[in-house]
Structures are given as C-alpha cells and as structure tokens.
Amino acid sequence: MQQLQLFPNRASTIGTGVDHLYFYLVGVSGFFSILIFTLIFIFAIKYRRRSPADRAQQIAGNVPLELAWALIPFGLEMIMFFWGASLYFRHYQAPPDAEDIYVVGKQWMWKLQHPEGPREINELHVPVGRPFRLILASEDVIHSFYIPAFRIKQDAVPGMYTTEWFQATSVGKYHLFCAEYCGTNHSRMTGWIYVMDPGDYQNWLSGGAPGESMAAAGARHFSRLGCAGCHVPDNSGRGPSLVGLYGSQVRLVGGRTAFADDSYIRACIMTPSVNRVANYPPIMPTFRGVISEEELSQIVEYIKSLNQGARIQP
C-alpha cells in the first residue's frame, strides 16, 4: 500500500480510524455492486422472453424476504452513520494542550505562522507526537487545507475562522494540497509538511532569524490602531477590558451570551455591530479592509495572551 500513490502513508492519530471506515464503505459498496450486477445478468438470461406467447407469472409476496432486503441495508447504513459520527466527534475538538498555528490561504500560496514568531510559506515544520490546532482563514476565495497522509482536510473560508487539528505519528515529509478549486494556478498551491524529532524541531525553531512573537506583533498593531485607548485593563475605558476575555462567557445586548473563542474575537474586530457587549455604547469601528488576515491573527493572539494559560473548554 505504501508504494501505491493513490493511497498515501498514514501518519496521524486520526488516520487509522479514517482508513478503517473507508475500507468498510468500499467493502459494502463493492459487495452490493457486484451482487446487483450479477443478479441482473443472471435474471436477464434466466427470465428472458423466449416466444411472443410468454407471459410473466404473478409472484406472491414474501414477508421474510421483504424484511431482509429492507433491514439488512438499513443496518449497514446505520453502522456507517454511527461509525462516521463517532469518528467526527472524537476529532472535532482539539485536545486542551494543542498548540495553535495560524494559516492564511491566498491565491496561490499558504502562509503559516507559529505563535513563537517563525513564518513559513507552503511549508510547515512540526514535531512528532504533539497535537497542533490549525486556525484557517482566507484572504480572497475559498481554499482547502489538505494533508493526505494525516487524513485531514478543512476549508479556509473568507471572512471567518475554521479549525482542524492533527497529531503526527511518523517522522517524514508529507504532501500539502489545496483541495478546493481557487483559480488559474490552483494546481500550484501545494507544499510540504515536515514532521521532525522534538530535538530537531527545537533546533529548527531557534535556528531562524530572530523575530517578534505573534503576541508581540499583535500588541504593536493594537497600539498603532488606537485600541488601547478604549480597552483599558481596569475597565475605565469606553470599551470592555480584554484581560481574561479569551475562553469566557460574554454578556451581550438583549440578554444573549457568547463564548469568547478565536471566531468571536475576530467577529468583534471585523463586524463589531453583530456582537454588542452589554452596558457599552456601539462605538467600536470595523477594521475590515484596514488590517490584513495576518495582522488580524496577531491581534487575536495578543488578546489571548492577556490571560496566558487559558484554554477553550466550551
């Protein structure tokens, strides 16, 4: 199987479950396809019309037979449903210790940044055995971040965050593709995932040119855009304090509440009128078109760093 290019190596914790479900689906589909076409061929010969006088005989109903060909496929389909749903929900939420990596899709490249600061284009270096959560965004059209060896694929949609996570199990170099047609050079929107030993990864992480972390860059943008004038830590400003915001429940106008995750913070920056915080006037301007997706991700990371150590537990 490893030599068959249409079936890539399995190199993540989710890979085994996905492959087993895939084999089950292919097995059921193949069995019934062969059965149906074989019966069609047999019946076409056995019950062919031999003379103009031939007439089909009326067949009486057979309750056990009717139940069998209704309940057996139904049972097989329920296995598909519950197996697929359980696999999905087991891998829907990233582990609490997963590290975030921000990914921005752009015609026709992938731009990635680690919270520590290193940036990559069409490449991603990660250590083996540690979970990572990818926070995906797009600067233009819909893209899809696809790593066949990890059995993961998630769309990067303009105007919102989507997430997926993985934990690599084997050191190696793996293909990265865009799996959503995104324009003329869609086929060139490829890259590589480098899974490294933890020691090699630390050497790689510290071996690049020194630069500021995402949180430090976000703090700089936060000050440059004048956000600090309203969002004062002691709640004395015209906007709410952002200290401890990430991972908390926020009370909104009208008695609603919202969970302050990455998507909520992004929405407050880009479309502040949607989630108006209770007891504060609607004076927050939109920054749509003012900041790039990369700058937005850095500001989000800075706000998350204001209560460092908190993780989302919805």
244-279 confidence digits (pLDDT tens): 899 899 999 888 899 999 999 999 999 988 888 888
**pLDDT band of 3, cuts 50, 70, 90:** low
pLDDT at site 238? 87
State what percent of residues in the chain have pLDDT above 70.
94
Q: What does the pLDDT average to over 143-170? A: 94
pLDDT at site 79? 95
Count of other CB atoms within 10 angstroms of residue 167: 19
**pLDDT band of 311, cuts 50, 70, 90:** very low
Tell me the pLDDT tens digit for each residue of 77-128: 999 999 999 999 988 889 989 999 999 999 999 999 988 888 899 999 999 9
- Under 8 Å between Cβ of 128 and 168: yes
Say how far apart CA 106 and CA 171 lie, in whole Å: 28
Specify the 3-state DSSP secondary structure of 100.
strand
Comparing C-alpha atoms, which of 234, 233, 199, 205 is closest to residue 219? 233
pLDDT at site 2? 55
pLDDT at site 57? 73
pLDDT at site 117? 81
- The two structure tokens encoding residue 103: 């990914």
Q: What does the pLDDT average to over 117-140? A: 93
- Under 8 Å between Cβ of 193 and 173: yes
Say how far apart CA 99 and CA 80 lie, in whole Å: 32
Residues 6+ apart with CB under 8 A from 268: 275, 284
Q: What does the pLDDT average to over 159-168? A: 93
159 conformational bin, left if phi > 0, alpha if psi -120 to 50, beta if neither: left
What is the pLDDT of the chain when averaged over all its residues? 88
The secondary structure of residue 180, as a DSSP letter, is: S
pLDDT at site 312? 39
Q: What does the pLDDT average to over 136-160? A: 94
Tell me the pLDDT tens digit for each residue of 171-195: 999 999 999 999 999 999 999 999 9
Higher pLDDT, 13 or 5: 13
Check whether 209 has a pLDDT greater than 70.
Answer: no
Higher pLDDT, 52 or 88: 88
**pLDDT band of 314, cuts 50, 70, 90:** very low
Paired strand residues for 102: 113, 135
Bridging pattern class, strands 131-138 and 190-196: unpaired
Residue identified by tokens 């049972």 is 75
Check whether 313 has a pLDDT greater than 60.
Answer: no
Bridging pattern class, strands 131-138 and 99-106: parallel
Angle at the Cα of 228 from the Cα atoms of 226 and 234, rounded to 5 degrees: 155
